Amino acid sequence: MSLHIYDTSTRAIREFVPVEAGRASIYLCGATVQAPPHIGHIRSGVNFDVLRRWMARSGYDVTFCRNVTDIDDKIIRVSAAESVPWFVVAERNQRAFTWAYDTLGCLPPTVEPRATGHVPEMITLMERLIERGHAYASGGDVYFDVQSYADRYGTLSNQKVENMRPAADTDDESCKRDPRDFALWKGEKPGEPTWPTPWGPGRPGWHLECSAMATKYLGPTFDIHGGGLDLIFPHHENEIAQSQAAGDGFARFWMHNGMLKIGAEKMSKSLGNSLLIPEMVQKVRPVELRYYLAAPHYRSSIEYSEEALLEAAAAYQRIEGFVTRAAEVIHDVDADAPLPQAFADALDDDLGTPQALAVVHEVVREGNVALSKGDKEAVARLLAETQNMLDVLGLDPRSPQWRGAGSDLTPVVDALVAVALEQRKAARERKDYAAADAIRNQLAAAGITVEDTPHGARWELSH
């Protein structure tokens, strides 16, 4: 089976055939950095990180572009409310997003362009649209003429132009030929940043930014454009319109991840119910939070609850427990061991992570049975399968990302615990079980769990 993905534009699952054989190009709408990220934002990052990892494992040379919208109406409003420059707001929050992506194990993008660094490309795109009769300048602004593209506008969101709401992206609608026309460029306003253009100083519109960046780094036609379901209209609809009207093929597949909700409401900063990443990784470890976000199908909505979060953490700990115990028996894991076919089939079927994780848990159950029987050959095979599957999902507990996630003091703690375990061993050998239990209880009080195994005592930090 080859990779098949659900394409929003055709509303069907299609076989993935890249523009260029052996290569895959992905553009993901990244952060608009007016505030730090909540788990709804980072869900998108995790979902598309799994896609990227699976495509790389499947043999594709992947170029992954994730942009940063660092100038926008929302950023300007925060800037004014805090009485700080707009770039201070953008820089502060971009760093928060980068930290969150890194903390949850997302691979760095191949390229991460900022909107403000691509104004020349935006000007060129507007010039092309004006020359083709699909855009016009008015009062210092530049607008996309929706009626000039009416026969194709609305195909992604499955809407008709006459039923669409006004763009509502300017203070003076009289500058527009049609209220549904959307701003490509916004003319200068007092206190706002500006860049020079042939139509006067101003700043870019949101939709224009992504088209310019996507085509600069991935070419006029590329493979996959991704983002949250809430971006289908107007953002992605407008990207398609302005890019294709200018003569570019643009994205061949459109992938959209579902929303994360609290109490049946879409999570957003405006609702005041955001769960920020630094808060979340105090509830569970980062790898457990990644498991929670990756486990549901990417197109499904997630109804957040702390109970569900802790259940996901417990499920991951069961996997981790097998890997840890098996690694004490098997020291050399075959990194080239084939993946179970059912796991590969699940991911090839529109990135079916629920089914893929079901395979992981089944292999872990078999591995635990093999451990109990002392079947080292089976343990070696099942451990290799488990770790290779977890590597694709970014969840391998023995990867450098997660092995170093506990503390920089791990070597020091390891040495101190080793001394305590030697004292406990000596107490047990002289049958002073009260002293041995006291040492174990002291370690437990310090957050260190000791487990006696056939290979000696093993310790880990309590979850």
393: domain CATH number? 1.20.120.640
Mean pLDDT of 208-226: 98
- In angstroms, the CA 295 to CA 69 distance is 28
pLDDT at 462: 64
| Residue 32 CA: distances (Å) to CA of 26, 102, 111, 169 | 18, 17, 16, 16
Where does 229-319 show beta strands of DSSP type E? Answer: 250-257, 260-262, 265-266, 302-303
Residue 456 has φ and ψ, to the nearest 5°, of 110, 180
Residue 295 has φ and ψ, to the nearest 5°, of -65, -45
Question: Are 397 and 415 found together in one domain?
Answer: no
Question: Are 30 and 115 found together in one domain?
Answer: yes
- In angstroms, the CA 70 to CA 86 distance is 9
Task: Return the bridge partners of 26, or none.
Answer: 64, 224
Nearest C-alpha neighbor of 376 from the set 454, 259, 456: 454
Residue 111, token pair as written in the block: 């390229």
User: Environment class of residue 374 by beta-carbon count within 10 Å: exposed (0-12), middle (13-18) or buried (19+)?
Assistant: exposed
Nearest C-alpha neighbor of 100 from the set 276, 265, 262: 276
CB 287 within 8 A of CB 397: yes
8 located within any domain = yes
Question: Are 48 and 170 found together in one domain?
Answer: yes
pLDDT at position 232 over 90: yes
Of the residues 386, 403, 420, the one at which a domain ends: 403
User: Which DSSP letter does residue 233 get?
Assistant: I
Q: If you count them, how many residues does the chain have? A: 463
pLDDT at position 412 over 80: no
Question: Are 212 and 347 found together in one domain?
Answer: no
pLDDT at position 406 over 80: no
157 located within any domain = yes
Question: Are 322 and 183 found together in one domain?
Answer: no
330 located within any domain = yes
pLDDT digits (tens, 9 = 90+) for 256-279: 999 998 875 555 555 445 689 999
Query: 3-state SS of 111-162?
Result: ECCEHHHCHHHHHHHHHHHHHCCCEEEECCEEEECHHHHCCCCCCCCCCCHH
- What residue has token string 């159950």? 365
User: Environment class of residue 416 by beta-carbon count within 10 Å: exposed (0-12), middle (13-18) or buried (19+)?
Assistant: middle
238 located within any domain = yes
> What 3-state DSSP class applies to 94?
helix
Mean pLDDT of 63-68: 98
- In angstroms, the CA 79 to CA 59 distance is 45
- The H or E element containing residue 250 is strand 250-257
Of the residues 241, 257, 273, the one at which a domain ends: 257
- What residue has token string 């009416």? 150
pLDDT at 284: 96
Where does 330-375 have alpha helices with state H? Answer: 341-348, 353-373
440-446: Cβ within 8 A, 24+ apart: 443/417
Contacts of 292 (CB under 8 A, 6+ apart): 284, 308, 309, 312, 313
> What 3-state DSSP class applies to 344?
helix
CB 267 within 8 A of CB 38: yes
Residue 454, token pair as written in the block: 């056939």
- In angstroms, the CA 367 to CA 374 distance is 10
CB 388 within 8 A of CB 88: no
271 located within any domain = no
pLDDT band at residue 435 using 50, 70 and 90 as cut-offs: confident
- In angstroms, the CA 252 to CA 9 distance is 9
What is the number of domains present in the chain? 3
Mean pLDDT of 422-435: 79
Of the residues 196, 223, 257, the one at which a domain ends: 257
- In angstroms, the CA 239 to CA 256 distance is 15
Question: Are 251 and 366 found together in one domain?
Answer: no
CA atoms in the 13 A half-sphere facing the CB of 367: 27
Mean pLDDT of 226-244: 97
Question: Are 385 and 450 found together in one domain?
Answer: no
Question: Are 42 and 187 found together in one domain?
Answer: yes
Q: Mean pLDDT score of the chain, rounded to an integer?
A: 92
pLDDT band at residue 407 using 50, 70 and 90 as cut-offs: very low
pLDDT digits (tens, 9 = 90+) for 14-63: 999 999 999 999 999 999 999 999 999 999 999 999 999 999 999 999 99
> What 3-state DSSP class applies to 457?
strand
CB 370 within 8 A of CB 379: yes
Domain with 152 in it: what CATH number? 3.40.50.620
pLDDT at 408: 43
Q: Is 37 left (phi over 0), alpha (psi -120 to 50) or beta?
A: beta
User: Which DSSP letter does residue 402 get?
Assistant: H
Contacts of 360 (CB under 8 A, 6+ apart): 319, 343, 386, 389, 390, 393
264 located within any domain = no
297 located within any domain = no
pLDDT digits (tens, 9 = 90+) for 99-110: 999 999 999 999
Domain range for 51 is 4-257
CB 199 within 8 A of CB 185: yes
